[in-house]
Amino acid sequence: MYIIAIIVAIAILNAVMDTLSHHYGVSVFKKLNAKFWDARTSAANVKWLPIIKYPLDAWHIFKSLFLCGVIGLATIAIETRFPWYIEFMGLGAIYILVFNTLYNVILKK
């Protein structure tokens, strides 16, 4: 039952991300500060977390929560010899390595 709750939560987070990216102007978020909530506007006005240089706007916050849910679900689904938190961090590190290699090196012209 908790897996269904995780999947629903992940779907909600993804729906919010897509709404902020594609339908902000006609969404329930449209009266909120566009500099934070509108993915098209927030990219130019984004605040950055110190030290790790991570963008702090609504879209990135919801994406981070989404990824935690996906990686958490993967952690639950796999059999392992390690404690869940080690598996969670390991899967997260693999995701970050692959994403950043593709996004910042391979897919860039």
Q: Are 48 and 54 in contact (CB under 8 A)?
A: yes
pLDDT single digits (tens) 25-83: 999 999 999 989 999 888 777 776 677 677 788 998 999 999 999 999 888 888 888 99
pTM over 0.95: no
Whole-number CA gyration radius for the chain: 16
Domain residue spans in the chain? Answer: 2-106
What is the rounded distance in angstroms from the CA atom of residue 77 to the CA atom of residue 17?
Answer: 25
DSSP per-residue string spanning 46-101: -EEETTTTEEESHHHHHHHHHHHHHHHHHHHHS--SS-HHHHHHHHHHHHHHHHHH
